Structure 1
Amino acid sequence: MEVHILAKAFISLAFVGFLGLFLRLYNALVAEPRRLRSELKKQGISGPPPSFLLGNIGEIKKARTAKVKDVPTGCPPTTHDCATVLFPFFEKWRKLYGQVFMFSLGNIQILHVNQPDMVREITTCTSLDLGKPSYQQKERGALLGQGILTSNGTVWAHQRKIIAPELYMEKVKGMMNMITESANTMLDSWKSRIEAGGGIADIKIDQDMRSFSGDVISRACFGSNFSKGEEIFKKLRALQEAASKKVLSSGVPGLRHLPTKHNRDTWALEKEVRTLILQVVKQRTQAGYEKDLLQMVLEGAQNSNLSQDAIDRFIVDNCKNIYLAGYETTAVSVTWCLMLLAANPEWQERVRTEVLEVCGGRVPDDYMIRKMKQLNMVINESLRLYPPVAVVSREALTDMKFGDIHVPKGVNLWTLVVTLHTDPENWGPDSLTFNPDRFANGITGACKLPHLYMPFGVGPRVCLGQNLAMVELKLLIALVVSNFSFSLSPEYVHAPFLQLVIEPEHGVNLLVKKL
């Protein structure tokens, strides 16, 4: 009798548990996404109809895998329409639904916003209620509990106090010799290849740019332990490639938690990166003070009154952010810039003439670089056409309002940088062409709405590493144009490709001659 009663009780508990789990899943996968879409729809916002559980992932994947017409090799690009190449589905939806529309990645509801006034409000918002999307941020609850929610991989609300931009800039100024040394290593390698090639060399420059940038950031961040930094950055590169493959699947319910081979490999890489970074931190603590970026991060973390676990996350997140801002984005930005100079020899000559006039045969220093107006115009135009980051994403962590639109808690906000950077309404009818002259009077004179130019972000969340990235870009390009002339190789194929940052899918091949 007692066994029968216990069995019935067990069955009842199991049924209640199953019912509770079913209701939770139904709410997360069906009811909540439907409610969010309904709230947006009531405000006149529409978008492509989602399929069950997958949302609009199927349509996006189909558009991304559609066969692209063969691109001729060795030809300079005739247009620079990254938005259409990388996001054809957004271009289609924008024509159908306007500048503000909604779509779904699985059960993640996203509001696409490219309306200028709303973009300004979103990018200048300082509230912690607008944070990094939860599907990108692990352990968000722990950070929220301490009031330090991350928005771009770092504890941004405190990092402006912990890592002051002016202090960071002083660090960058002190790196000029180190950046020059790293650049000269690459230049010597090119000279050797040119000599071996009988006066000209066909060089695929992508890996050289990564080696240069990696050497700079490893030394800047990890000081005397820079070799360990190089190992960390290789792991972070692999982690970036892995993450880029699962961007679309991140909204498929439960998929990011399943022990698939891809997820296991990604988790293993994340663990390795964390372990390597904290090993360097331990060695630094034992060895003592060094004047580098890691020391600045460590001092900021120690002065923050955070728990040890939060300090470790802060350090790891900042090292990851330094990688993306100071290494990967710099490498890919200088690669695109050299491609554009190779494709536009008149601008290459203008920059070369300016560098020779300003430097007079001397090694460029901080003062000289700031005087190079033509170079600055070229870099600004290159970052406009090929911004390293294509999309700025945020999540409303509570109900919020931007413009006339009420954004319910849980909705993600996406701003498409590549579209804003080539909008003819803002940049003029030549918005898809390479024309550095538009920046002759600075960013404010280049377009109607300067706040829509955001290669490094804008407002309170602007990338802390932009000063280092710009110094690296200017110094390396100045040294390259003053030592070499170069043109596009017959092997070059123009194919922008999105892998978290916008990269040339087949690399950039240049024919390089020594001056």
Structure 2
Amino acid sequence: MATVDGASQLAHPWSLLCALGALATLWWAWRALDRAWLRPRRLGRALRAQGLRGTSYRFPSGDMREFVRLGAAALAVPMPPSSHAVAQRALPFDLAAIKQHGNVCLSWFGPEARVIVNEPKLFREILSNKNGRFGKQKSILSIQILLADGLTSHQGEKWVAHRRIINHAFHLEKLKRMLPAFAACCSELIRRWQDSVGADGVQEIDVWPEFQNLTGDVISRSAFGSSFSEGRRIFELQSEQAQNVVQMSRAMHFPCYRFLPTKLNRRTKANAREVAELLKGIIKKRESAMKDGRAENDDLLGLLLETNTKESQETGSSKPTMTTEDIVGELKLLYFAGSDTTAVLLTWTMVLLSMYPEWQDRAREEVLRVFGKNSPDFEGINHLKVVTMILHEVLRLYPPIMLLGREAYEETELGGITYPPGVTFALPIACIHHDPDVWGEDVGEFKPERFAEGVSKASKDSPALFHFGWGPRVCVGQSFALLEAKMALSMILQQFLFELSPSYTHSPFPVSTLQPQHGAQIKLTKI
């Protein structure tokens, strides 16, 4: 009898543990069922009841299968050489949804509600972010931090403080100090091209990798000055990191994917650690040189450190506003945002000016009238009206960033519909830039003259050019990028005529930016 009682006492704790385990399993099962089945269906009914059109939720992947299918079909064949309809190739799912369901429509990425917004007015309302209703998508931010935990990922007071410091570093007067670095890198490019030209004065060059190297050199030299070689290694790592993050983001609807020990995840984390260590070493050396009075602060790192120190002194804080880790994040972001975006802008500009030689002639005539054969200077660059019109039209037709994403952080009303927290908004820049209702029936044509009176008068619903974003979070480096592009394009026009090579295939390809899938082969003729 005693033995039976003892066994009963031993069994009791195990019974309790089993019961608790069963309850926990039921709770997690209910959570999973609610997230993947019940909640999306409730939300879909609520939004459709308010008049929002779109797709119905399909368990468990939503519209992901159709998204992948349309994307693969769009990229299977190149575009006609004369076509600029990049939205059909880069954002086929979003474009098809807009055509079927309207300019504001509902889609599903897994169980997440994703609202596509293709109206400039609502674009601006979301990007202006009054009262902090909208922010970066939290699921994407967790991955993007591996690339750069900088200004674009910050919110609230931290964003305000960082933006204020970085604005000082990118002020036009400060950018003048970097013009010699721009000119030096562009001169090296021109000399390399001139040396490669044969006896007939003609040479075919794939300008895409050339411009990647150029913008990487410009960032390295203008950011770090004398630490140029170390900066070059960071550029190489960040270029690889950008591709890795894009691959990871495609699988973000799988729970905890980024924590799995896959080869891609391990490589991404190793890159992040190496870049951080390289940057910390450069920062420490620069801070030591500044203390000893041996540093010239004509590069971005020097300007950031200088402004950061002044900001801390003005606020009376004993600690710097931006920590070393903060500065590392901003410099990593600079490499990503400042190199690929300018490289693709220059690449598509060369392609389009090859397609439209009359505009190439007009741009060259303007450059020679302003600079002759002299190196472009800051004042002259600000007077390049034709070149500016061309760059704006290239950015409209071939925006480097195809789409922006935002998330509702609280219940919010937009366009007459109330959305709960957690709904994401897809802002397809390429679709807006190619919308005939916004730009006119000639929307698919290369017409730089539409920007003759500036960006504000170029479209019907203005402004509708969102290549650098819009609102308080507009890209802080846009003046840097345009100054660099104008410098490089002017120096190329001074020295070369160019046309498309017969080997060129017109295949814009959305990676981290809109890149030429098979390169951009250009025939250069030395002037």
TM-score (norm 1): 0.91
After superposition, where does 1:292-371 map in structure 2 within 5 Å?
A: 292-299=299-306, 303=311, 311-371=323-383
Residue 388 (structure 1) aligned to one of 394, 400, 407: 400
Question: Using a 3 Å threshold, how does the CA distance of structure 1 residues 220 and 140 change in structure 2: closer, same or farther?
Answer: closer
Deviation at 1:383, TM superposition (A): 0.6
1:131–1:149 CA contact under 8 A, matched in 2: no
Partner of residue 235, structure 2: 233
1:396–1:408 CA contact under 8 A, matched in 2: yes
1:103–1:112 CA contact under 8 A, matched in 2: yes
Q: Does 1:105 find its partner at 2:109? A: yes
After superposition, where does 1:192-203 map in structure 2 within 5 Å?
A: 192-195=195-198, 198-203=200-205
1:497–1:503 CA contact under 8 A, matched in 2: yes
**Deviations along 1:361-415, whole A, 9 cap, x unmatched?**
3211011111111111111111110111111111111212223122211111111
Aligned partner of residue 246 in structure 1, secondary structure: helix
Partner of residue 261, structure 2: 259
Distance 1:28 1:157 in 2: 34
Deviation at 1:191, TM superposition (A): 0.4
Question: Using a 3 Å threshold, how does the CA distance of structure 1 residues 257 and 416 change in structure 2: closer, same or farther?
Answer: same
- Which amino acid is 2:380 matched to? M
Distance 2:72 2:494 in 1: 41
Distance 1:178 1:358 in 2: 21
2:308–2:321 CA contact under 8 A, matched in 1: no
Partner of residue 175, structure 1: 178
Question: Using a 3 Å threshold, how does the CA distance of structure 1 residues 152 and 53 change in structure 2: closer, same or farther?
Answer: farther
- Which amino acid is 1:371 matched to? H
Q: Does 1:25 find its partner at 2:29? A: no
**Deviations along 1:486-513, whole A, 9 cap, x unmatched?**
1001110000100021111111000001
Q: Which runs of 4 or more aligned residues in structure 1 lie more than 4 Å from their structure 2 counterparts after TM superposition?
A: 67-72, 151-155, 299-310
Distance 2:461 2:23 in 1: 57
Question: Using a 3 Å threshold, how does the CA distance of structure 1 residues 157 and 201 change in structure 2: closer, same or farther?
Answer: same
Deviation at 1:293, TM superposition (A): 1.5
Residue 384 (structure 2) aligned to one of 358, 372, 376: 372
Of 252-261 and 342-351, the range deviating more from structure 2: 252-261
Aligned partner of residue 135 in structure 1, secondary structure: helix
2:169–2:304 CA contact under 8 A, matched in 1: no
Deviation at 1:294, TM superposition (A): 2.1
Partner of residue 496, structure 1: 508
Partner of residue 124, structure 2: 120
Deviation at 1:421, TM superposition (A): 0.9
Distance 1:200 1:186 in 2: 16
Aligned length: 505
Residue 86 (structure 1) aligned to one of 84, 87, 90: 90
Residue 12 (structure 2) aligned to one of 5, 25, 28: 5
**Deviations along 1:247-270, whole A, 9 cap, x unmatched?**
332123333333333333323323
1:54–1:252 CA contact under 8 A, matched in 2: no
Deviation at 1:94, TM superposition (A): 1.1
Distance 1:56 1:306 in 2: 52
Q: Does 1:276 find its partner at 2:283? A: no
Unpaired segments ≥5 residues, structure 1: 142-147
Distance 2:106 2:318 in 1: 38
Question: Using a 3 Å threshold, how does the CA distance of structure 1 residues 219 and 153 change in structure 2: closer, same or farther?
Answer: farther
Distance 2:169 2:76 in 1: 48
Distance 2:23 2:55 in 1: 37
**Deviations along 1:108-158, whole A, 9 cap, x unmatched?**
3211111232112112224434211011223999xxxxxx99359995433
Aligned partner of residue 163 in structure 1, secondary structure: helix
2:54–2:105 CA contact under 8 A, matched in 1: yes
Residue 14 (structure 1) aligned to one of 15, 21, 45: 21
1:388–1:501 CA contact under 8 A, matched in 2: yes
Question: Using a 3 Å threshold, how does the CA distance of structure 1 residues 433 and 139 change in structure 2: closer, same or farther?
Answer: closer
Partner of residue 189, structure 2: 186
Question: Using a 3 Å threshold, how does the CA distance of structure 1 residues 65 and 316 change in structure 2: closer, same or farther?
Answer: same
**Deviations along 1:441-492, whole A, 9 cap, x unmatched?**
1112221123211111111111000011000110100000110001001110
Question: Using a 3 Å threshold, how does the CA distance of structure 1 residues 474 and 149 change in structure 2: closer, same or farther?
Answer: closer
- Which amino acid is 1:44 matched to? G
Partner of residue 148, structure 2: none
Question: Using a 3 Å threshold, how does the CA distance of structure 1 residues 279 and 458 change in structure 2: closer, same or farther?
Answer: same
Aligned partner of residue 61 in structure 1, secondary structure: helix
1:126–1:460 CA contact under 8 A, matched in 2: no
Aligned partner of residue 500 in structure 1, secondary structure: coil
Distance 1:167 1:248 in 2: 33
Partner of residue 61, structure 1: 68
Residue 135 (structure 2) aligned to one of 131, 153, 160: 131
Distance 1:205 1:473 in 2: 14
- Which amino acid is 2:500 matched to? L
Distance 1:216 1:151 in 2: 26
1:339–1:488 CA contact under 8 A, matched in 2: yes
2:161–2:321 CA contact under 8 A, matched in 1: no
Residue 42 (structure 1) aligned to one of 43, 49, 52: 49
1:128–1:157 CA contact under 8 A, matched in 2: no
- Which amino acid is 2:175 matched to? V
2:52–2:417 CA contact under 8 A, matched in 1: no
Residue 244 (structure 1) aligned to one of 239, 243, 246: 246
Question: Using a 3 Å threshold, how does the CA distance of structure 1 residues 23 and 71 change in structure 2: closer, same or farther?
Answer: closer
Question: Using a 3 Å threshold, how does the CA distance of structure 1 residues 272 and 382 change in structure 2: closer, same or farther?
Answer: same
Distance 1:499 1:137 in 2: 17
Deviation at 1:311, TM superposition (A): 3.2
Partner of residue 58, structure 2: 51
Q: Does 1:401 find its partner at 2:413? A: yes
1:63–1:88 CA contact under 8 A, matched in 2: yes
- Which amino acid is 1:98 matched to? G
Of 471-480 and 153-162, the range deviating more from structure 2: 153-162
- Which amino acid is 1:268 matched to? A
Amino-acid identity (%): 33
After superposition, where does 1:353-502 map in structure 2 within 5 Å?
A: 353-502=365-514
Aligned partner of residue 414 in structure 1, secondary structure: strand
Aligned partner of residue 281 in structure 2, secondary structure: helix
1:153–1:320 CA contact under 8 A, matched in 2: no
**Deviations along 1:278-304, whole A, 9 cap, x unmatched?**
332233333334412223334555646
Q: Between Structure 1 and Structure 2, whose CA radius of gyration is higher?
A: 2
Aligned partner of residue 452 in structure 1, secondary structure: coil
Distance 1:140 1:434 in 2: 34
TM-score (norm 2): 0.89
Question: Using a 3 Å threshold, how does the CA distance of structure 1 residues 67 and 40 change in structure 2: closer, same or farther?
Answer: closer
Partner of residue 165, structure 2: 162
